[in-house]
Chains A and B, each alone.
Chain A
Amino acid sequence: MTYFFNTPQQQKEMCEVIGIQDVDELFSQIPAEFRLTGDLQLPAAMGELELTQHMTGLAAKNYPAGQNVCFLGAGSYDHFIPATVDAIASRSEFYTSYTPYQPEVSQGNLQATFEYQSLICQLTGMEVSNASLYDGGSAVAEAVLMCLSATRRYGKVVTVGSVHPEYRQTTATYLQNLETELVTVPTPGGTAAPEQIAAVVDDTTACVLIQHPNFFGCLEEVEAIAQIAHDHGALLVQSFDPISLGLLKRPADLGADVAVAEGQSLGTPMQFGGPYLGILACREKFVRRMPGRIVGQTEDRHGRRCWVLTLQTREQHIRREKATSNICTNQGLFALRASVYLATMGPKGLKETATLSMQKAHYAAECLSNTSRLEPAFAQPFFKEFVVRDENGQVQQLLNAAQQQGILAGVSLGKWFPELSDCFLVTVTEKRTKSEIDQLTACLGSVNSPSEILHA
């Protein structure tokens, strides 16, 4: 095997030093009844060339978004990734190291994480950020658990239908063995109605969970909802789109207490859904309730500024069952990618990315609603995603027809929202061009419905 060093002769010599005849003796700790007598039933080993051919073949059976025109979003986005991100993240001093338990030989990772936390604070307006969580869905669930412990209220968590259905599902999974009730206020008009939230929030509510811009792309009345939560002593958790903050007010400025996000947009490839980046930032007063790693600044014995893992008494390796979370390995490499992305884009680049996405999404929405059978499902202001209704209710037919022309036109919504089974979600990033949007419009506008074919 290419990755081993020791030759059979060396292995023999090592056995002699140990005082054994052969390696198998070392496995005598395993009771004989449990020893595997035959080989594992696995495919035979492959050399690098063979493996490369095999896996290139598997990859070729897929249709990468970049070889199509991608209007898919719903939490995973086809934003541009500058070359700096790949160049830095492929430095093996970063990607083959691990959690910085020895700060003296991990200052690169520690400083990069401290800068990540600082960038996330600048982005969200929050006072503290952790070093990352797994992804958007589990970050939302962790934020909710953090609110339960911060408020010492375990009765109720209130959310709304316009939060990403998989984030709500993940939260429900995390809560299913606890006493806490998850109340979901429906959003038939595409956004949450503050008065309906007010009707269910009470003094047992730990937090209100919303998303802004929401799953449908629409803007929520965050400040009004924050006020309702705060009036009852509950916290506001806002799931946000990091790119949107090039234009929109920051979560802290809108009154959120905890800001969480899927950070994939910040320089991470879509890679079929993971690994991604869970962002979690909050107000200073909750810092000791936060899940995950946190890096802090200090000085060494020479008085030099440096960085260490800190506030570790929150964590599982110290506090065990009383830890704020069980998280150990997180998403360090993707926090690094997000930092390099933000450092490369700068404030101007982020604003331009947000503006281009927004302008193109609005152009696409207008074009699509000018076709004969499509109309916008919701009237609310939106950012880079919008829901389109097919008057004929044949969403799958439309999406299939577009796919035939190499266009990934949207995400059908019926799976999560039966009442929206005639709708799909279209996402437009800065990467889409006018001609691609026109192509989408022409394609969807020319699909004949079965009834039209029948009458032709």
Chain B
Amino acid sequence: MRNRLATKLLFELSQPDREGSQLPPCDVPEQKIEDIFPTSACAASPPELPELSEPDVVRHYTNLSTLNMSVDTHFYPLGSCTMKYNPKRNERLAALPGFSDLHPFQAEETIQGMLQLLYELQQMLAEISGLPAVSLQPAAGAHGELTALMVAAAYFRDNNQKRTKVLAPDSAHGTNPASAAMAGFETIAIKSLPNGYVDMQDLNNKLDDQVGVLMITNPNTLGLFESQIGQIVNAVHERGGLVYLDGANMNAILGMTRPGDFGADMMHFNPHKTFSGPHGGGGPGAGPICVVDFLQPYLPIPSVVHDKDLYRLNFDQPKSIGQVRSFFGNVGVLVRAYAYIRTHGPDGLKQVAQNAVLNANYMLSRVRHILPVPQGNRCMHEFVATASQLKNDKGISAMDIAKRLLDFGFHAPTVYFPATVPESIMIEPTETESRATLDAFTETLFRITDEPSELLHEAPHSTWISRPNEVQAARQPVTRWKPAG
């Protein structure tokens, strides 16, 4: 329960000489600091951090935690983010010292279990994606996109091809064009048709021999499986380009179809979405990528290999793009993904997709009577409804609905993305929600749309704060606490 007295910053709780830690006395012969460091290198005093006791710290943060909605406490249908249940067993297993207390530069013979797990995960991801070569190194989905695009650039360079463009649908995640720019490509947007699918004519007009990669999200951000994917892939391949699959929506197709089978050359997984790594309030994620065999030589180093009963890290890959981060990867997230895949097995993963898609369609079939879903009566794991009619009729926006849902104990869906749908509300229930929860959410939506618009414009009414002034925050940014004076 929220403590109404707890509103201070850490710094405002600080009292001079209060201590939260006690270190042991120095047990080695001590040297004078001035004999070790030049005076010019030394600080006159340590940084001015808050001075707190241990109970100060614990009460402060425990109270802060109660101001969050989370998957463990609330329905969190944040479209595109796959906020499914995070199994507790995965937390306990990832915390075993045999995984969590390993130094990245330990000798290979002291980390055989770790390397075995990572090797098996590489193989499992290859099987699920239908793409044989895997790098576990990228730290998040966007990092996987960037890495794969750098792999593609290295491949083209190696084959003396100058390809400068990346194509991506206008409904793509913002990370797609941003990653393309970081990898040195020019991004060109492909139009979507009103029905949500890629406009083949626009694609064909924009395809030329300068196009290196088409980035496509499938199922796309509207929750539709691009049924023309075969033609799309063929068109790109005929011009010598590569197809990248943004794997953000893999939850919908686990065990039902594989990106490698429908023609993707590269993809990333978001293990924090699809394989249920906790989202951590904004990370960590991971972004392992899978690619076709002819791109394998360019993958980041190291990969895990298995030979002569020994698992080892392979750095011997002369055409590799190199490392994209320090050390091996976001291993803690990968260990949880491994636990998740082993828990489900082949049939369980298929059931994940089936239940995710069933839940989404069930919600769609009910929600569309309140909020139209422009792209049709069927979806994969998520769908995008629109409040534009409501906005025209009653002045109620997607944001108003999102804010009012908070009052009823639901996290809001994603709003205003994708921008191709006006007043969009993107709902992804995930497979780990009950029919009762989905019904309660839908009934709340019904109720909200009947409420007076003035009530909604000021919602939420029951949360600690309401409608923070974001314009002021951006105009006069205050991004830190400052000491007085």
Provide the residues of chain A in CB contact with B113, threshold 8 Å: 57-62
Q: Is the CB of A132 within 8 A of B283?
A: yes
Assuming A45-B343, A94-B281, A430-B23, is B11 touching A249 (CB within 8 A)? Answer: no
Given contacts A45-B347, A108-B68, contact A115 B114 (CB under 8 A): no
Which among A41, A297, A325 has the highest number of chain B CB atoms within 10 Å?
A297
Chain A nearest Cβ from B205, distance in angstroms: 20
Contact B100 A271, beta carbon cutoff 8 Å: yes
Q: Is the CB of A64 within 8 A of B463?
A: no
Least Cβ–Cβ distance between B280 and chain A, in angstroms: 3
**Which A317-346 residues sit within 8 Å CB-CB of chain B?**
317-323, 325-334, 336, 339-340, 342-346
> Which of these, A326, A336, A352, A359, contacts B281 with CB under 8 Å?
A336
Q: Is the CB of B10 within 8 A of A40?
A: no
Q: Nearest chain-B residue to A172 (Cβ)?
A: B322
Known: A26-B358, A111-B9, A311-B477. 10 other contacts (CB 8 A): A82-B54, A96-B70, A96-B86, A102-B412, A173-B150, A274-B331, A300-B467, A329-B140, A333-B278, A352-B21
Q: Is A454 interfacial (CB 8 A cutoff)?
A: no
Q: Mark A74-87, 1 if CB is under 8 A from B, else 0.
A: 11101000101001
Knowing A333-B283, A343-B57, say if A104 contacts B107 (CB, 8 Å).
no
Q: Mark B16-38, 1 if CB is under 8 A from A, else 0.
A: 00111111101111110100111
Chain A residues whose CB sits within 8 angstroms of the CB of B10 once the complex forms: 115, 118-119, 339, 343
**A contacts with B, residue count (CB < 8 A):** 207
Per the 8 Å Cβ criterion, residues 163-192 of A in contact with B are 164, 166-167, 169-170, 172-174, 176-178
> Does the CB pair B177–A321 fall under 8 Å?
yes
With A34-B262, A62-B113, A98-B78 known as contacts, the answer to whether A342 contacts B70 (CB < 8 A) is no
| A169 adjacent to B227 (CB under 8 Å) | no
Q: Is B161 an interface residue (CB 8 A)?
A: no
Whether A96 touches B178, Cβ cut-off 8 Å, given contacts A3-B431, A274-B327, is: no
Chain B residue at smallest Cβ distance from A49? B89
Of B236-244, B349-357, B385-393, B446-454, which stretch is located at the interface?
A: B349-357
- CA distance in complex: A104, B85 (Å): 22
Tell me whether A411 is interfacial, beta carbon within 8 Å: yes
Q: Is there a chain B Cβ closer than 8 Å to A375's Cβ?
A: no
Q: A52-B93, A60-B113, A271-B331 are in contact. Are A340 and B477 (CB under 8 A)?
A: no
Is the beta-carbon distance between A328 and B326 smaller than 8 angstroms?
Answer: no
**In B65-87, which residues have CB < 8 Å from any A CB?**
65-74, 76, 78, 81, 83-87
Q: Mark A12-36, 1 if CB is under 8 A from B, else 0.
A: 0111011110011011011101111
Distance in angstroms from A240 CB to nearest chain B CB is 12
Other-chain residue from A96, A434, A437 in contact with B279 (beta carbon distance below 8 A): A96
Asked if A417 CB lies within 8 Å of chain B CBs, one says: no
Hey, which chain A residues are within 8 Å of B348, CB to CB? 1, 45
Q: CB within 8 A of A320: which of B76, B177, B322?
A: B177
* Given A109-B282, A326-B175, A328-B140: A302 and B51 interface contact (C-beta under 8 Å): no
Taking a contact as CB atoms under 8 Å apart, the answer to whether B86 and A274 are in contact is no
CB <8 Å contact, B479 and A65: no
Residues of A within 8 A of B227 (CB): 29-31
What residues of chain A lie closer than 8 Å to B110, measured between beta carbons? 62-63, 403, 408
* A23: B residues at CB distance < 8 A: 354, 357-358
Closest Cβ–Cβ distance, residue B382 to chain A (whole Å)? 13
Cross-chain contact A76 with B41 (CB below 8 angstroms): no
Specify which of A93, A136, A287, A323 is in contact with B68 (CB 8 Å cutoff).
Answer: A93
Closest to A336 in B: B281
Among the interface residues A115, A125, A271, which one has the most CB atoms of the partner chain B within 10 A? A271
B98 within 8 A of partner (CB): yes
B28 touches A360 (CB 8 A): yes
Interface residues of A in 93-124 (CB under 8 A from B): 93-109, 111-115, 117-119, 121-123
Residue numbers in A under 8 Å from B262 (CB-CB) = 31, 34
Interface residues of A in 283-317 (CB under 8 A from B): 287, 293-302, 304-308, 310-313, 315-317
What's the least CB distance linking B99 to chain A, in Å? 5
Q: Which residue of B lies closest to A54 (CB)?
A: B342
**Judging by beta carbons under 8 Å apart, are B358 and A14 in contact?**
yes
Minimum CB distance partner of B432 in chain A: A3
Task: Tell me the smallest distance from the CB of B45 to a CB of chain A, in Å.
Answer: 8
Q: Of the candidates B23, B68, B106, B253, which one forms a contact with A106 in the assembled complex, judged by CB atoms under 8 Å apart?
A: B68
Nearest chain B residue, comparing its CB with the CB of A80: B23
Asked if B323 is an interface residue, CB under 8 A from chain A, the answer is yes
> When the two chains form their complex, are residues A35 and B256 in contact, meaning their CB atoms are under 8 A apart?
yes
Cβ-closest chain A residue relative to B128: A40
B68 touches A178 (CB 8 A): no
Pick from B43, B73, B92: contact of A93, CB under 8 Å = B73
Q: Contacts A346-B21, A349-B20, A349-B21: A317 and B417 contacting too (C-beta < 8 A)?
A: yes
Give CA–CA (A250, B173) in the complex, Å. 38
Interface presence of A199 (CB below 8 A): no
- Residue B333 at the A interface, CB < 8 A? yes
The reply on B91 being an interface residue by CB < 8 A is: yes
Query: Given the complex of chains A and B, what is the CA–CA distance between A23 and B84 in angstroms?
Result: 20
Which A residues touch B432, using CB under 8 A? Answer: 3-5
Tell yes or no: A161 within 8 A of B by CB. Answer: no
CB pair A46 B342 closer than 8 Å:
yes
B234 at the interface (CB under 8 A from A): no
Q: Check A449 for interface membership: any CB of B closer than 8 A.
A: no
B478: interface (CB < 8 Å): yes
B261 within 8 A of A: yes
Q: Is the CB of A310 within 8 A of B106?
A: no
User: Among A95, A178, A339, A400, which residue has its beta carbon within 8 angstroms of that of B184?
Assistant: A178
For the complex, is B251 an interface residue (Cβ under 8 Å from A)? no
Asked if A346 and B58 sit within 8 Å, CB to CB, the answer is no
- Minimal beta-carbon separation of A325 from chain B (angstroms): 7
List A contacts of B62 (CB < 8 A). 88, 91
Task: Tell me the bound Cα distance from A408 to B43 in angstroms.
Answer: 32
Set of chain B residues within 8 Å of A136, measured between Cβ atoms: 326
Whether the Cβ atoms of A46 and B345 lie closer than 8 Å is yes
Known: A96-B71, A343-B10. A6 touches B355 (CB 8 A): yes
Docked-complex contact A332 and B281, CB < 8 angstroms: yes
Complex CA gap A195/B315 in Å reads 35
Chain A residues within 8 Å of B139, by CB:
134-135, 138, 274-275
Q: Is A245 an interface residue (CB 8 A)?
A: yes
B470 at the interface (CB under 8 A from A): yes
Q: Given the complex, which residues of A lie within 8 Å of B45, measured CB to CB? A: 347
Of B100, B112, B333, B478, the residue contacting A269 (CB under 8 A) is: B100
| B435:A135 contact, CB within 8 angstroms | no
Q: Which chain B residues (339-385) contact chain A, with CB distance < 8 Å? A: 339, 341-352, 354-355, 357-359, 361-362, 365-366, 378, 380
A-B residue pairs in contact (CB < 8 Å), sample of 26: A5-B433, A14-B362, A31-B229, A42-B128, A42-B345, A45-B347, A58-B116, A63-B106, A93-B68, A93-B73, A98-B81, A101-B78, A102-B402, A105-B411, A108-B65, A119-B49, A170-B323, A170-B324, A300-B467, A332-B284, A340-B57, A342-B49, A344-B20, A344-B52, A403-B107, A433-B27
| Of B68, B178, B354, B414, the contact of A326 (CB 8 Å cutoff) | B178
Name the contact of A322 in the complex, choosing from B181, B325, B349 (C-beta under 8 A).
Answer: B181
B54 to chain A: which residues have CB within 8 Å?
82, 84, 344
| CB of A358 closer than 8 Å to a CB of B | yes
Decide yes or no whether A70 CB sits under 8 A from chain B: yes
Tell me if A321 and B187 are in contact (CB < 8 A): yes
Shortest Cβ-Cβ A-B pairs, 4 listed: A59-B98, A273-B327, A61-B113, A45-B345
